[in-house]
């Protein structure tokens, strides 16, 4: 009974985060930013959409996540962030898994070629097109390059976009839920042994459930009785919303993520991003714009102590079209990272962002550390392009509370996140 009450309270807290309408800057997750943004080779929670979509195929279970700003509104795009992560395991022959991934990749490639032939979807490298960063406002660019006399009529278009996204999401959720409930049983014949943390038992506030592990659990210690090995299949929905009167821009980013992995040694993932923007002219009228893009991510863990990550953001993209005739494309960015576990419960990570210096911008370096002294507590520190960051997480029952403090150019921003493990 106590566990049921605790889960109910956790869910209520998460939902209160998600429906919050106060001005806040989510900045893509308290935990990753507490590590200085060095998260490309980790991405093992519901933050994966922004950092590396392959991470949705790590740590089976279902997570509902929300994050918001506590202090110091930033000038970049972002308000509240909400995410749903679903991942399940199944016994799969490694050859069949590889063949399946190859077949799906070929179908996706043919679909991309078809959309490219129609002039809808375009490759984003080598294009002579005005491009913008996703975390920066585009108000001035849209109003300067478009027709100021165009009357906004975007309500009907926005409703159609919402109906299409809602239908696709509901269909995918039903498919994933049915598949997960049918194949996830009887994978573990014997329960895995519990590791000793300062004693023989887990701490009373830490909820241990191997069907929905956290980053405190050591998956390599599992006692599986599998004959073929296990494959992971992940799904995610992420929504970032921003209503920023100072920037005169309303932003909604919707992301559908799909991922698969084998033995959590290698994982592949993709994002399908939908963009719904509205900029406000000095007259007070709003001009709406819509677009979409595709991200690809890879995670590899050749040994238990080392993992590598690679993500290409906006690898394929449509232009973002505005009602006043203005158009632009979001800038492509390729990030790479490495994470090391020199000892149990300590992770050191390093990321290089924008390694090809797309858009003429310099590459940036990110360093982070996460120490988990015992189950239910994690301490973090990082260096994000020269700016110091710090953070911590506490897990109580089914709820994980994340906190991050960002110094330097972030001007002492504080972020709070909450995950409910369903």
List the pLDDT tens digit at each of the 422 positions of the chain: 445 555 555 545 544 544 443 333 345 789 999 999 999 999 999 999 999 999 999 989 999 999 887 776 556 655 578 899 999 999 888 898 999 999 888 888 888 888 888 888 888 877 777 788 877 778 888 887 776 544 444 444 445 445 544 554 455 445 445 544 443 333 334 444 444 444 334 556 665 666 667 877 766 555 444 456 889 999 999 998 877 777 788 889 999 999 999 988 999 999 999 999 999 888 888 899 999 999 999 999 999 999 999 999 999 998 899 988 888 889 999 999 999 999 989 999 999 999 999 888 899 999 999 999 988 899 999 999 999 999 999 998 889 999 999 888 888 888 899 999 88
Element (H, E) at 251: strand 249-262
Please tell me the predicted confidence (pLDDT) of residue 19.
44
Closest CA to 404 of 17, 30, 35, 26: 30
Q: Kindly report the CA angle at 264 between 98 and 273, in degrees rounded to 5?
A: 80
Which stretches of 124-229 are assigned E, i.e. beta strand?
131-132
Please tell me the predicted confidence (pLDDT) of residue 220.
58
SS3 state at 80: strand
Please tell me the predicted confidence (pLDDT) of residue 114.
84
Rg, the chain, Cα only? 21
Please tell me the predicted confidence (pLDDT) of residue 217.
76
Segments forming the whole domain that contains residue 12 = 2-421
Dmax over CA atoms of the chain, in Å, equals 72
Closest CA to 65 of 18, 19, 27: 18
> How many distinct structural domains can be found in the chain?
1
What is the distance between the alpha carbons of residues 131 and 360, in angstroms, rounded to a whole number? 11
- Whole-model pTM? 0.81
**Helix boundaries (H) for 81-154:** 94-117, 139-145
Please tell me the predicted confidence (pLDDT) of residue 214.
80
Q: How far is CA 329 from CA 79, 149, 175, 280, 370, in A?
A: 22, 23, 32, 19, 35
Please tell me the predicted confidence (pLDDT) of residue 21.
36
């Amino acid at each position: 009974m106590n566990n049921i009450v605790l889960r109910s309270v956790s869910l209520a807290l998460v939902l209160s985060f998600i429906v919050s309408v106060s001005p806040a800057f989510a900045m893509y997750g308290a935990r990753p930013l507490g590590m200085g943004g060095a998260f490309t080779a980790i991405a093992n929670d519901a933050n994966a959409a922004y950092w590396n979509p392959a991470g949705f195929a790590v740590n089976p279970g279902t997570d509902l996540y929300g994050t918001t700003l506590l202090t110091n509104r930033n000038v970049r795009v972002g308000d509240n962030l909400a995410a749903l992560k679903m991942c399940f395991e199944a016994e799969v022959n490694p050859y069949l898994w590889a063949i399946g991934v190859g077949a799906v990749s070929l179908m996706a490639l043919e679909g991309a070629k078809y959309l490219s032939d129609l002039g809808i979807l375009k490759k984003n490298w080598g294009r002579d097109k005005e491009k913008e960063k996703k975390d920066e406002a585009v108000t001035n660019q849209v109003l300067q390059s478009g027709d100021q006399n165009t009357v906004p009529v975007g309500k009907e278009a926005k409703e159609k976009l919402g109906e299409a996204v809602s239908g696709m999401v509901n269909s995918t959720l039903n498919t994933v839920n049915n598949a997960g409930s049918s194949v996830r049983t009887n994978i573990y014949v014997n329960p895995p042994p519990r590791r000793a943390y300062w004693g023989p038992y887990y701490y009373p506030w830490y909820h241990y459930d191997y069907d929905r592990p956290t980053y405190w659990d050591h998956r390599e210690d599992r006692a599986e009785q599998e004959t073929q090995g296990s494959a992971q299949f992940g799904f995610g929905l992420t929504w970032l919303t921003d209503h920023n009167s100072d920037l005169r821009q309303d932003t909604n980013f919707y992301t559908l993520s799909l991922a698969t992995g084998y033995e959590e040694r290698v994982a592949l993932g993709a994002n399908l991003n939908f963009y719904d923007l509205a900029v406000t002219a000095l007259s007070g009228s709003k001009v709406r714009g819509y677009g979409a893009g595709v991200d690809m991510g890879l995670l590899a863990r050749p040994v238990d102590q080392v993992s590598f990550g690679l993500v290409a953001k906006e690898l394929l993209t449509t232009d973002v079209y505005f009602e006043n005739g203005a158009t632009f494309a979001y800038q492509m960015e390729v990030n790479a990272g490495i994470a090391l576990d020199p000892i149990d419960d300590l992770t050191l990570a390093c990321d290089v962002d924008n390694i090809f210096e797309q858009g003429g911008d310099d590459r940036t370096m990110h360093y982070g550390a996460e120490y988990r002294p015992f189950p239910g507590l994690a301490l973090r520190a990082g260096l994000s392009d020269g700016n110091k960051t710090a953070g911590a997480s506490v897990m109580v029952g089914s709820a994980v509370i994340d906190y991050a403090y960002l110094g330097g150019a972030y001007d002492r921003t504080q972020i709070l996140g909450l995950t409910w493990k369903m």
